[in-house]
């Protein structure tokens, strides 16, 4: 079992599934595409059961909140050299509003990290372990990111930086200057589907993140 207190986690949801993100920017629980689907990341229960972290490489202090009126998580990392803000969300269906929120959620995680001052070296570790940690998927590079195949789902990670694949884990690192940002997306399809999910370009990620924020606010203001 993990020794991390449950209070260290914040909830993500698209009204159909759920994820839990730690104060260190690690997605330690995720079930796609439904609440009762097998977990893709399960480090909440077992340190070896999978996670996806995006965080500064240097020691940092983290302060977080939800973007007002939404379930989009905002984590601010302060390091000796600068500050970075990480946004995490499970994306809603395109232009869903009000009580229709979540009706056609595609089961996609969006993550965006932005350097807001100074410079910040950031790193990401992507270690999916489908079926509650039982599967170590086969990874391969694809245009715009990588794919992970194993268990009942095929995963596509859209990433704006080179990733080094080591078995069933991928690592990436870069340094951001003030105003620079990185956009990530994780999508999945069932093994029986004809094609693997396509990677998401940064422009699409940013557009859908903004739309998800608008969707949540349309519901909270009813």
> Using an 8 Å Cβ cutoff, are 75 and 64 in contact?
yes
Spatial separation of the C-alpha atoms in residues 151 and 130, rounded to whole Å = 6
The encoded tokens of residue 155 equal 């995963």
Q: What is the pLDDT along the chain (222 residues), one digit of tens a residue?
A: 677 888 999 999 999 999 999 999 999 999 988 899 999 999 999 999 999 999 999 999 999 999 999 999 999 999 999 999 999 999 999 999 998 998 999 999 999 999 999 999 999 999 999 999 999 999 999 999 999 998 888 999 999 999 999 999 999 999 999 999 999 999 988 876 766 678 899 999 999 999 999 999 998 876
Per-residue pLDDT at 1: 64
Per-residue pLDDT at 222: 60
Per-residue pLDDT at 152: 82
- In our burial notation (b when 16+ CB lie closer than 10 A, e otherwise), range 143-176 reads ebbbbbbbbebbbbbbbbeebeeeebbbebeeeb
Query: DSSP letter at 38?
Result: P
Q: Three-state SS for 47?
A: coil
- Sketch out the chain's domains with CATH numbers: 55-220 (2.70.98.10)
Per-residue pLDDT at 221: 77
Per-residue pLDDT at 17: 94
Neighbours of 177 (CB within 10 A): 11
E-only strand ranges, 50-168? 51-56, 61-66, 73-78, 82-90, 109-127, 138-142, 145-150, 153-158, 164-166
Spatial separation of the C-alpha atoms in residues 168 and 50, rounded to whole Å = 10
Give pTM, 2 decimals.
0.94
Query: For the chain, how many residues are written?
Result: 222
């Amino acid at each position: 079992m993990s020794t991390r207190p449950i209070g260290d986690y914040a909830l993500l949801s698209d009204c159909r599934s759920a994820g839990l993100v730690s104060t260190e920017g690690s997605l330690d629980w995720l079930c796609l595409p439904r609440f009762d689907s097998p977990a893709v990341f399960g480090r909440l229960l077992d340190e070896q059961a999978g996670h996806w972290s995006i965080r500064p490489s240097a020691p940092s202090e983290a302060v977080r909140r939800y973007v007002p009126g939404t379930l989009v998580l905002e984590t601010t990392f302060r390091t000796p050299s600068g500050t970075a803000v990480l946004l995490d969300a499970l994306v809603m269906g395109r232009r869903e509003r009000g009580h229709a929120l979540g009706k056609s959620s595609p089961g996609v995680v969006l993550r965006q990290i932005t350097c807001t001052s100074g410079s910040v070296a950031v790193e990401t570790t992507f270690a999916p372990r489908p079926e509650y940690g039982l599967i170590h998927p086969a990874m391969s590079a694809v245009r715009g990111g990588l794919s992970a195949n194993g268990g009942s789902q095929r995963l596509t990670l859209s990433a704006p930086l080179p990733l080094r694949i080591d078995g069933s884990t991928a690592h990436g690192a870069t340094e951001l200057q003030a105003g620079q940002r990185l956009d990530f997306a994780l999508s999945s399809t069932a093994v029986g589907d004809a094609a693997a999910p396509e990677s998401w370009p940064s422009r699409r990620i940013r557009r859908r993140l903004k739309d998800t924020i608008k969707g949540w606010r349309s519901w909270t203001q009813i």
